[in-house]
Chains A and B, each alone.
Chain A
Amino acid sequence: MNRQAAIVGIGAFPFSKSSGTSEWRMGSLAALEALRDAGLTPRDVDGVFRSTMEATTESAMARGLGIPDVRAFGAVDYGGGGIVPMVSHAALAVESGMAEVVLTWRARVRKSGPRPWMQRGSGGSSDQQHYERVFGIARPVDSTAILARLWAERYNWKPEDLGRIAITIREHARRNPMAMMQRELTMEQYLGSRMIADPLRLFDCCLESDGAVALVLTTAERARDLRPDPAYVTAYAMATGPDSYNISQWYGEPLGRTQGWYAARELWRRTELRPADIDAIQWYDAFTPEVAISFEEYGFCGEGEVMEMLAAGEHAPYNTAGGCMSEAYLHGINLFSEAVRQVRGTSTDQVDGAEHVLVTSGNTTPNGAMILSGSPR
């Protein structure tokens, strides 16, 4: 396609433990901020995409904001795996000409609302949880722990190796005033934190947050007229891999490979860029092992080498605003606002001259990856 998409607006409703307001209102305020950031108004928007886990529909969002004509809309499933695919649908709508200006967002009342895994299963037996929940595998962390154990045993990961990831992300968060977690995290505190699902501790897990982030995409051509620093969509990919389930990564072959491996393969197939060209990474980080596994599966190091690489510090900076672990957990959409800030040069932990920034979504479900760049392709 000749048309290229770019992110021209980012907006947020402040991240907190209790917003005291609704997802619809938080999403709307974030959307208005993103549109102001882009120099646009709701009347300019003609495409709206959401997560299926978003309580507010595209039409509710449109009528609430006064968007008169929506020409492209849709919803993407899979929670934290679906955020890059959701933004990819927005980019597809722009690139195909279905829409000129697309709004997409994620708003959550998670910290003060119910946990989805606490609800009794109501589906039929085709619901994967019926064959896991009865045995006590009910939370995302339980399935992730089983995957983490596989990798830890195979490649001799030590508790400190995962701790280093949590601490690195926390240090980035401490430079970001928007991040929920501002306190220092020491290795002693990490190692002393309680187990949630062995081998994963409290500080291996992301936050539970209220808040919202909205993004506005348009064509590269229009983006240049709107602002001097658009974040151009250079490449994107979606993938499931074989025998795809949610979070439980052990039904398919080979054992231990995540659905992120397939997103990585698709991404690198769609661009001439290579891992060495990436200046900053915003990994989906609901749990620390996802970061380590992603470094390997996206080809930033050889098999079994990730912990050595991270210990040596020989890697592109990652999750530079604190990610899901320490900024906020909104299914990872805040990874996009930080990727845009890196490309603009306005991050609170700016990587000098960041040109190409990689963003991923949850690698243990159907998922995707996108590269945002400072120049059009």
Chain B
Amino acid sequence: MSLFPVPAPDQIGEPFWAAVAERRLTVQRCPACREWTWQPKPVCPACGSPDLTWEAVSGRATVCSWTTPRPPVLPAFESLVPFVVLLVELDEGVRMVGQLVGDAGDLLRTDGTDVTFSIGTRVTLRWRDQDGQWLPSWAVDR
């Protein structure tokens, strides 16, 4: 069994992972007040509408912060370190974390010091395959 902490979705999050399996990044949006919300929620926290829907996002984002986890890390990540985890703000306004990858979706094996980015750097969605699990990831715009 893979040590990778693959998600075990419940009803609220299942549509997210189903879309991810098709390499589509979706985020919940309220049909009533049009607010986006992340992470997954049962109802709209802005207006109370019970009918949140999953909508595709642009895949364009801006770096807000980042870190480089170093050992000791979860066993699944031991062979991957060092890598950079970005906090990005999607153009739709929600923030999420994801790994820094190259244009081909390859995990950049770096502690971040040799990669040109900073807070405010624009990034674009790429897809990375981790043991058969697609992961929404981010590459620096050129």
A binding-site residues for B, Cβ under 8 Å = 117-118, 120-126, 128-139, 142, 145-147, 149-150, 153, 194-200, 243, 245, 248, 250-251, 255
Contact = CB atoms under 8 A, between A and B. Distances in A.
Contacts of A250: 64-65, 87, 95
A120 B133 CA distance: 16
Interface in B38-76: 38-40, 42, 45, 64-70, 73-74
Contacts of B38: 131, 251
Nearest to B70: A195
Contacts of A136: 69, 73-74, 77, 80, 83, 85, 99
B33 interface: no
B105 interface: no
Contact of B85 (A142, A153, A243, A251): A142
B13 interface: yes
A126 B70 contact: no
Contact of B40 (A126, A133, A197): A126
B32 interface: no
A130 B9 contact: yes
A245 B5 CA distance: 20
A133 B98 CA distance: 10
Contacts of B77: 136, 138
A196 B5 contact: no
A135 B70 contact: no
Contacts of A198: 67-68, 70, 111-112
A121 B68 contact: no
9 contacts: A125-B13, A125-B40, A126-B42, A131-B39, A133-B74, A139-B73, A150-B64, A197-B67, A251-B38
Interface of B: 4-14, 16-17, 38-40, 42, 45, 64-70, 73-74, 77, 80, 83, 85, 87, 89, 94-99, 111-112, 118-119, 130, 133, 135
Nearest to B118: A153
Contacts of A133: 5, 74
Contacts of B97: 131-132, 135, 137, 146, 248
Contacts of A150: 64-65, 119
A125 B70 contact: no
Contact of A130 (B13, B80, B119): B13
A290 to B, nearest CB: 15
A105 B71 CA distance: 32
A139 B10 contact: no
A243 B45 CA distance: 9
Contact of B66 (A126, A146, A245): A146
Contacts of A197: 67-70
Contacts of A137: 67, 69, 85, 97
A286 B124 CA distance: 34
Contacts of B68: 195, 197-198
A251 B8 contact: no
Given A121-B8, A250-B95, A145 B67 contact: yes
A135 B66 contact: no
Given A134-B6, A135-B99, A146-B66, 18 more contacts: A121-B5, A124-B11, A125-B9, A125-B12, A131-B7, A134-B5, A134-B7, A134-B133, A135-B98, A136-B74, A136-B77, A136-B80, A142-B67, A149-B66, A197-B70, A198-B112, A248-B97, A250-B64
Contact of A138 (B7, B73, B112, B130): B73
Contacts of B135: 134-135
Query: Most chain-A CB neighbours within 10 Å: which of B16, B68, B69, B73?
Result: B69
Contacts of A125: 7-10, 12-14, 16-17, 40
Contact of A124 (B5, B13, B67, B87): B13
The 8 nearest A-B residue pairs measured at CB: A125-B13, A124-B10, A145-B67, A125-B9, A198-B68, A149-B65, A130-B7, A133-B5
A344 B120 CA distance: 50
A136 B39 CA distance: 17
B12 to A, nearest CB: 5
B92 to A, nearest CB: 14
B67 A146 contact: yes
